[in-house]
Structure 1
Amino acid sequence: MNKVMEFLERWLLPVAEKLNNNRYLTALRDGFMVALPVIIFGSIFVVIANFPFLDRLLGEEAYAAYQNALGPASAATLSLMGLFVIVGIGYKLTEHYGGQAIYGGVVAIASFLILTPQTVEKVTGAIPTSSLGAQGLFLGIFTAIISAELYRFFVNKNWVIKMPAGVPEAVSRSFSSLIPIGLTLTVFLLVRILFSYTPYETVQNFIYTVIQQPLTKLGSGLGATIVAVILIQIFWFFGLHGQIIVNTVFDPIWYALNDENFQAFQAGRELPNVITKQFIDTFLVGMGGSGMTLAVVILIFLIGRSRQVKELGKLGGPPGIFNVNEPITFGLPIILNPLALIPWILAPVVVTVITYFAMASGLVPKPAGIIVPWTTPIGISGFLATGNAWQGAVLQIFNLLVVMAIWWPFLKIIDKSYYEKENKPSE
């Protein structure tokens, strides 16, 4: 055990710290956070529009009218999520450099739209919504980062229009950004023109064929997902936010897979993917937080004898219901506790495998692409994430029992050591 911890500390932690502090990955993470409120808003209305048995209660015609009335809520948010993420990345990266953040967001979205095909079935001047959603996310990420860097480069070269004193600040800022934004957009226009002479025709086709499609296929596999889950748990064990580090890399892939399922769900087609963003967030994180520590809280009330563990259960129980588990991870503690390392890593891996095969076999519906707020309690989140399917809730409960079984002997040892220390006669 000591050799394993020594190896992880020596080789893995430095990499994790570099990833955690990388400005591009930080901007990417924060960009998703900017988009999250509108994504959740759209997801809520998808759930409302697809309540079970509602078509039978309202009738076919009334139900269609009901769905059409609520449709714009998801069409203007979930279907266009790429736009919000791009603005967020450009804004946050420019803010990191101390520049005018709003112009970083503006130049990012304008650059992306320049590169995006503007033809739908031979009708020019129209942009397909698929290009503005998760399908265009990879291009959007590259575009936002490069455009923000180009904008900063031109500003640092002092290629700006300086207005005389007395001009309102808003006007002065607008004119000072004119040349840097204009030059940045010109670069992207030239890139678009150059790609029109290649076999790919557009940058979007190039990114999707060469980068996005292979990565998405890799990220949808069980093996890559298990690796991601193990890394999340190891980083957390050493006190680093594993989800922030790993999800920053995997989120573009998982969101793209999520969007494919969402489009299929709305069209009434078979859902193509098992692994999606909600696979991770609902059936792993959505069971008490990272490591599914709601199981630990329940076990504390069942087998806990020491005062320390019992008090920790009272403290960690209420937030654990809403998937906030810092009281448990830092209070038990799980972090840097060799006794907790095995169940901390093993339980999420076992649950990942169980959930994958339960969905791949058709026993449980696949995630429908609906973004469920991460604070949604267990049972409810599984029901919503699978498109209002009761099997999703049952799978979460079953997984919880599995995690409890894995943790049982280890928590008993931890609790016993605390109990013995508390009842040791004082010398």
Structure 2
Amino acid sequence: MNKFMSMLENILLPIADKLNNNRYLTALRNGFMVALPLIIFGSIFVVIANLPFLDKLIGEEAYATYQSTLGPASAATLSIMGLFVIMGIGYKMVEQRGGEAVYGAAVAVAAFLVLTPQVLDGVSNVIPTNILGAQGMFLGIFTAFIAAELYQLFVSKKLTIKMPQGVPSAVSRSFSALIPISLTLTIFLGIRIIFSYTPYDTVQNFIYTLIQEPLTALGSGLPATLIAVLLIQVFWFFGLHGQIIINSIFDPIWYALNEENLTAFQAGEALPNIVTKQFIDTFIVGIGGSGMTLAVLIAIFVVAKSRQLRELGKLGGPSGIFNVNEPVIFGLPIIMNPLVIIPWLFAPVVVAAVTYFAMYTGFAPRPAGLIVPWTTPALLSGYLATGNNIMGTVMQLINMAIVFVIWVPFLKVMDKQYYESEQKAAQSAE
């Protein structure tokens, strides 16, 4: 066991440290956080617009009117979520360098729009919303990175206009950004012109055909998903926030798959993807937090005799209901604890595989593309994430049972150790 732990530590810790401190992955992660409130807002209204049995209560015509009235809430947020992510990445990239972050956001969005074809079905001066959503996500991410870097490069080369003293600071900052932004956008305009002479016609078509489609296919498959889930657990075991590290890499893929499901759900069509952002967040992480520790807390209440575990259960229970599991992570403890390495690493992997096959066979519904807030308690989150389907709740119950069964033998060993230690301490005190 010690050799195995040392091997994992020597191989994975340096990789995790580099990923955790990489400025591009940090900006990507924080860029998604900028968009998250808007995404959640849109998801809430998608749920409200698709309440079960409402069409039977108020009639088909009234229901259609009701949905069209609430439609702009998701159309202005979820459908163009890529735009908000681009803005967030550009802002965070420039902010990291101590620059004027708002111009980082502006130049990232403008560069992306320069590359965007403004034609839809032969109509000019129209921006297709699908390009601002999932289909344009990858290009948007790369564009934000490059635009922000170019902007900062031109600023660092002092290619700015200096205004005399006495000019209002807002005006002075605008003129300082003029040349860096102009040079950056000119480069992107040149890129657009070059691609117009290729078979792909636009950069969007090139990125989506050669890069995003293969990566999305990989990220939507079971093997890559199981590896991602396992790595989340491995990083946490060594004290690193595995979810943040892995999400930085997979979130663009999972969010794109999520939006494809949302589009199909709103159109009343079959949902194309099993693995999405909500597959991970609702049916794995969303059951008490990373490692699905809500089921672990339930197991503690059932089997624990030691005071240490019983007190941990009382402390971690209320927060665990809302998927905050730091009390368990640091109180059990999870980090560097050889007694829990097997259930900690493999219980979520088993759950991911079982959930995938349950959805593949149709036993459980696929995620509908709705972004459910991560603090939503388990059982309710499963119902909401599957478009108000009670089988989403049933699937979460099954997952909790799987984690419970896997953890119980290991908790009994740990509890026995703690209990005997407490008994010896009590006898010594007497």
Q: Equivalent residue for 1:211?
A: 211
Q: Equivalent residue for 2:368?
A: 368
For 1:3 and 1:226, the matched residues in 2 are separated by: 24
Mapped pair 1:400 → 2:400: yes
Q: Equivalent residue for 2:428?
A: 426
Q: Equivalent residue for 1:82?
A: 82
For 1:415 and 1:365, the matched residues in 2 are separated by: 37
* 1:135 Cα offset (Å): 1.3
Mapped pair 1:310 → 2:314: no
Q: Equivalent residue for 2:348?
A: 348
For 2:406 and 2:306, the matched residues in 1 are separated by: 20
Q: Equivalent residue for 2:26?
A: 26
Over residues 340-364 of structure 1, what are the superposed CA-to-partner deviations in whole Å (9 max), with x where a residue is unaligned?
0000011101100110011011111
How do 1:229-268 residues align onto structure 2 when only pairs under 5 Å count?
Answer: 229-268=229-268
Over residues 130-179 of structure 1, what are the superposed CA-to-partner deviations in whole Å (9 max), with x where a residue is unaligned?
00012111000000000000000000000000000000000000000000
For 1:91 and 1:186, the matched residues in 2 are separated by: 20
Letter in 1 for 2:351: V
Letter in 1 for 2:145: I
Over residues 35-69 of structure 1, what are the superposed CA-to-partner deviations in whole Å (9 max), with x where a residue is unaligned?
00000000000000001000000101100000010
Q: Equivalent residue for 2:103?
A: 103
The total of aligned residue pairs comes to 427
For 1:238 and 1:9, the matched residues in 2 are separated by: 7
For 1:134 and 1:239, the matched residues in 2 are separated by: 33
How do 1:163-182 residues align onto structure 2 when only pairs under 5 Å count?
Answer: 163-182=163-182
Q: Equivalent residue for 2:55?
A: 55
How do 1:135-174 residues align onto structure 2 when only pairs under 5 Å count?
Answer: 135-174=135-174
Q: Equivalent residue for 1:12?
A: 12
For 2:48 and 2:9, the matched residues in 1 are separated by: 47
For 1:199 and 1:414, the matched residues in 2 are separated by: 63
TM-score (norm 1): 0.99
For 1:234 and 1:32, the matched residues in 2 are separated by: 23
> Match of 2:131, SS?
helix
For 2:134 and 2:412, the matched residues in 1 are separated by: 45
Letter in 2 for 1:265: F
For 1:135 and 1:244, the matched residues in 2 are separated by: 23
Q: Equivalent residue for 2:322?
A: 322
How do 1:122-141 residues align onto structure 2 when only pairs under 5 Å count?
Answer: 122-141=122-141
* 1:301 Cα offset (Å): 1.1
For 1:234 and 1:364, the matched residues in 2 are separated by: 28
Letter in 2 for 1:231: L
* 1:101 Cα offset (Å): 0.1
For 1:2 and 1:247, the matched residues in 2 are separated by: 29
For 1:87 and 1:296, the matched residues in 2 are separated by: 39
Letter in 2 for 1:61: E
* 1:371 Cα offset (Å): 0.3
How do 1:263-282 residues align onto structure 2 when only pairs under 5 Å count?
Answer: 263-282=263-282
Q: Equivalent residue for 2:66?
A: 66
- Between the aligned residues of both structures, percent identity stands at 71
For 1:52 and 1:226, the matched residues in 2 are separated by: 33
> Match of 1:420, SS?
helix
Over residues 343-400 of structure 1, what are the superposed CA-to-partner deviations in whole Å (9 max), with x where a residue is unaligned?
0011101100110011011111110000000000011000000010000001101110
Letter in 2 for 1:157: K
> Match of 2:91, SS?
helix
* 1:192 Cα offset (Å): 0.3
Mapped pair 1:221 → 2:221: yes
Q: Equivalent residue for 2:332?
A: 332
* 1:300 Cα offset (Å): 1.2
For 2:104 and 2:416, the matched residues in 1 are separated by: 56
* 1:80 Cα offset (Å): 0.5
Letter in 1 for 2:4: V
> Match of 1:338, SS?
coil
For 2:66 and 2:10, the matched residues in 1 are separated by: 58
Over residues 294-328 of structure 1, what are the superposed CA-to-partner deviations in whole Å (9 max), with x where a residue is unaligned?
01111111111111111111110000000000100
Runs of 4+ aligned structure 1 residues displaced above 3 Å come to none
Name stretches of at least 5 consecutive residues in structure 1 with no aligned partner: none
Q: Equivalent residue for 2:288?
A: 288
TM-score (norm 2): 0.99
> Match of 1:65, SS?
helix
For 1:365 and 1:12, the matched residues in 2 are separated by: 35
For 2:130 and 2:381, the matched residues in 1 are separated by: 27
* 1:30 Cα offset (Å): 0.1
* 1:426 Cα offset (Å): 2.3
RMSD, aligned CA: 0.7
